[in-house]
Amino acid sequence: MNVLATPQSTSSAPKPAEHFDILIVGAGISGIGSAYHLTQQLPDKSFVILESQESFGGTWLTHRYPGIRSDSDLHTFGYRFKPWVGPPIATSEEIKSYMGEVIADNDLGKHIRYKHRIERASWSSATNLWTIEAVRTDSGEPMSFTANFLWMCQGYYRHSRGYTPQWPGMDKFKGRVVHPQSWPEDIELGDKKVVVIGSGATAATLIPAIAGKCAHVTMLQRSPTYFRVGRNAIELAETLRQLQVKEEWIHEIVRRKILFEQDAFTRRCLAEPEQVKEELISQITAVLGPDYDVEKHFTPKYRPWRQRIAFVPDADLFLGIKSGKASVVTDEIDRFTEKGILLKSGQELEADIVVTATGFDLCVLGDIAFSIDGKPLNFGDTVTYRGMMFTGVPNMVWVFGYFRASWTLRTDLVADFVCRLLGHMKAKGAKKVVTALRAEDHNMPLLSWIDPENFNPGYMMRNMNLLPKRGDKPEWQHSQDYWAEKDEIPGIDLDDAAFVYD
Ligand SMILES: Cc1cc2nc3c(=O)[nH]c(=O)nc-3n(C[C@H](O)[C@H](O)[C@H](O)COP(=O)(O)OP(=O)(O)OC[C@H]3O[C@@H](n4cnc5c(N)ncnc54)[C@H](O)[C@@H]3O)c2cc1C
């Protein structure tokens, strides 16, 4: 099945293109999971995974700052097919080692080409093929591939750099400014005063990891964030292990328990936000004590779940604050000074190192220049089919996971869908599938990818115009609702008029 085909564009690709039935973009948790499902469900298909980095892991390879860990439990962030046997919150090393086992156990390594950055993807209706032009990041050599189907597992943010807002005076600051996404190996924390700008999951992970290793660390936030506090352990898993229940069963039972509880929690956030808010905040007061100003530093203005809620295992962030090794300042930055940061309140925070835990740069489909029959493709002009396919874009699926549940739950669901779709195409003798609005959809309002009333993290809000549009019917949106989609996605009628085959 792995044959050589003539490339459509030869300008920068002197070698003949290599052909695969399916080309998977990215060797992160989505790409590796998708490859696994493909080998299990459609073992006759040829495929390749192209990955620009030097190894697998994606997010868990890119982020190397101290303390880097998941904020989801690994029973649900892990794949449904491979039991997670460690504590629920895992380090990036543990996640990479889990993924490494999936690759080794299923002989996936032979399908992965590292150091291949994809730059262009062009669809030809004449051949019903994608031509993918990549560059070897080590030698600069152009590489060309053709594929019948593109499986986009490139994530949602730019791996090469994080998002750092520009503040006045940054050029005058005598210390060092570091983004957690490009954590320098040579950084000495020793006797340094560190200010971390931001209060999301990254700040919550980094601060306890460096508190005690530097002179002092301050979390500087414009406004408070919600956190959940709990033990980094699942009692039920421990009990089942004591009873020598098989790990496969424990994985499944604990997944069901966690998903059941998350579903109930999400519903409560919508039905009784004030009560949930109080519960979350009281967990923090319990650690910091009644004299700490929890109202000012840990009481958000928005309702719970509008942004991801970071889990703080064993209350480590709050214990760091209680010990005095870390502190929190809630204020706005006026400007950087030579010595640190001047706040709008007039206070100056002295710093030797400023860490900008200010988030990601959203990146739609891996910064790849897409075209269809020679015409550049702007994803902002398309409408999404359930956050997986895009109107007018043939033979392509994007794995965009969940924010309120573990991302990987959707990787497994989308993989089943892709394999079913490819099987259906084979049965029909179709070479091409594209989604299109049906007659009844033509007057449908077209809205932004995510409803900002529902979920509104900064990296999404900054770049919403780059993302495909959403309609007001379940078929034409990414609902972010695992509990509905776990039944809806397997039930999709592939002969619905939204799918056009050729
Ligand atoms: C610090 C951090 C912690 C997180 N913690 C959680 C968590 O606990 N739970 C959760 O559900 N989610 C979490 N997330 C979200 C997380 O990104 C996803 O859960 C998940 O890891 C995404 O996996 P992915 O494989 O889809 O994408 P990524 O991990 O982003 O991997 C994509 C891969 O594609 C490659 N790639 C991209 N473009 C190209 C190209 N043009 N050519 C070749 N290769 C390309 C990249 O190099 C990368 O290796 C976290 C995110 C961050 C940044």
- Give yes or no for residue 342 CB within 6 A of ligand 1: no
| Tokens read off for 186 | 């040579």
Half-sphere exposure of 448 toward its Cβ, with a 13 Å CA cutoff? Answer: 14
For the stretch 266-300, pLDDT in tens is 899 989 999 999 999 999 999 999 999 999 999 99
What is each CA distance from 181 to 176, 335, 392, in whole angstroms?
15, 23, 34
Question: What gap in Å lies between CA 355 and CA 206, rounded to an integer?
Answer: 10
Q: Which residue has the tokens 């706040």?
A: 343
**155 CA distance to ligand 1 middle (Å):** 5
Return all residues near 211 (Cβ < 8 A) that are at least 6 apart. Answer: 217, 320, 323, 325, 326
- Give yes or no for residue 75 CB within 6 A of ligand 1: no
Determine contact, residues 380/215, Cβ cutoff 8 Å. Answer: no
The pLDDT of residue 450 is 82
What residue's CA is closest to ligand 1, atom 5? 70
Half-sphere exposure of 219 toward its Cβ, with a 13 Å CA cutoff? Answer: 29
Q: Which residue has the tokens 């460096």?
A: 210
Question: What gap in Å lies between CA 193 and CA 405, rounded to an integer?
Answer: 36
What residue's CA is closest to ligand 1, atom 12? 407
The pLDDT of residue 1 is 39
- Give yes or no for residue 155 CB within 6 A of ligand 1: yes
CA-wise closest residue to 499 among 412, 401, 386, 370: 386
Determine contact, residues 34/150, Cβ cutoff 8 Å. Answer: no
What residue's CA is closest to ligand 1, atom 37? 154
The pLDDT of residue 112 is 98
| Torsions phi, psi for 330 (to 5 deg) | -110, 110
| Tokens read off for 21 | 């039935």
Ligand 1 pocket test, candidate residues 32, 48, 59, 150, most atoms within 8 A of CB? 59
- Which long-range CB contacts under 8 A does 373-378 form with residues at least 24 apart? 373/123, 373/124, 373/125, 373/126, 374/122
Question: What gap in Å lies between CA 145 and CA 48, rounded to an integer?
Answer: 10
For the stretch 187-231, pLDDT in tens is 999 999 999 999 999 999 999 999 999 999 999 999 999 999 999
Ligand 1 pocket test, candidate residues 154, 157, 400, most atoms within 8 A of CB? 154
pTM attached to this predicted model: 0.94
Q: Which residues of the chain have pLDDT under 50?
A: 1-10, 13
What residue's CA is closest to ligand 1, atom 39? 366
- Give yes or no for residue 206 CB within 6 A of ligand 1: no
Mean pLDDT of the chain: 94
Sign of CA dihedral 190, 194, 198, 204: positive
Q: What b/e readout covers 337-354, taking b as 16+ CB neighbours within 10 angstroms?
A: bebbbbbeeeeebebbbb
| Tokens read off for 493 | 């009628």
* β-strand pairing of 384-385 with 389-390: antiparallel
- Give yes or no for residue 368 CB within 6 A of ligand 1: yes
The pLDDT of residue 12 is 52
